[in-house]
Structure 1
Amino acid sequence: MEGASSIIMLVVLFAVFYFMLIRPENKRKKQAQAMRDSLKKGDTITTIGGIVGKIVTVKPDTIVIETSDDRVRMELTKWAVSTTGVQSSDTQTSKKKDEEKKDEVKETEEIPEKPADEPAAPAEEEKKD
């Protein structure tokens, strides 16, 4: 009985491992490959290195993108494509929102300015006990 229960536990552990780790990873790989296979001329892409560009030519294993209005062209392998569209991180988006909020607060608050001929108040020194 002791051997059978340990074999059952190993089978259960492998099943959990498969459904929690292996299967979702294979699903992500298939989605990424499908996205790379569906690339077409005119799509905007972001590479895994963070380069953003518009696809000019699609070849079986590579693509050619334009990265700016100066018509700078780069040839990349398809596996280097991270996403279609411009990818932005949440931290950049939240920083921009925070800056916009600060600008709004600055516009609504009126901070009185000190006249130039008035000296600045001296800083109080901390008293040591």
Structure 2
Amino acid sequence: MIATILQFGGGEGSMTPTLLMMGVMFVGFYFLMIRPQMKKQKSEKTFQETIKVGSRVVMTSGIQGRIAQVMEDGVVIETMAGKIKFEKAAISREFTQQRFPDTTEVKK
């Protein structure tokens, strides 16, 4: 593939504009795709490491519950159906009243 790219340019010019364009594309991909994904992974990891007993969380599968026990290899989530053990990586986000208000309240 590189050989066809090198042959595609005319024989008379230098490779500097082509290499410059490829460099600009790499930098663009880095700032638009790679860097935001790395920041998201880092924030998720710090969130998963700082969870504590009693926090209400939402799992990646959509299960909501309260953390009953934190262990080294996972957590035990208490749901309406009972207690279930999950890996820490399965916790998607915290379930807070500010982000997810309780809609069962009757407004006057």
- Give the TM-score normalised by the residue count of structure 2: 0.75
| Identity of matched residues, % | 30
Question: C-alpha distance in 2, partners of 1:60/1:37?
Answer: 10
Question: C-alpha distance in 1, partners of 2:39/2:61?
Answer: 23
1:24 equivalent in alignment to 2:24:
no
- Give the TM-score normalised by the residue count of structure 1: 0.63
Q: How many residues align?
A: 87
Question: C-alpha distance in 1, partners of 2:50/2:44?
Answer: 10
Higher relative contact order (CA 8 A, sep 6+): 2
Classify the secondary structure of the residue corresponding to 1:2.
coil
Paired residue type of 1:82:
S
**Any gaps of 5 or more consecutive residues in structure 1?**
89-95, 97-129
Paired residue type of 2:84:
M
Paired residue for 1:36? 48
Paired residue for 1:14? 26
Q: Following TM superposition, by how much is the alpha carbon of 1:61 offset from its aligned partner in structure 2, in angstroms?
A: 2.0
Structure ranking higher in helix proportion: 1
Over the aligned positions, Cα root-mean-square deviation in angstroms equals 1.7
Question: C-alpha distance in 2, partners of 1:77/1:4?
Answer: 50
1:34-81 CA-partner distances (Å, limit 9, x unpaired) = 11001100000000001001001001120001102x6x1000000110
Paired residue for 1:75? 85
Runs of 4+ residues deviating >2 angstroms = none
**Any gaps of 5 or more consecutive residues in structure 2?**
1-12, 104-108
Q: Give 1 or 2 for the bigger CA radius of gyration.
A: 1
1:67-115 CA-partner distances (Å, limit 9, x unpaired) = 02x6x10000001101011676xxxxxxx8xxxxxxxxxxxxxxxxxxx
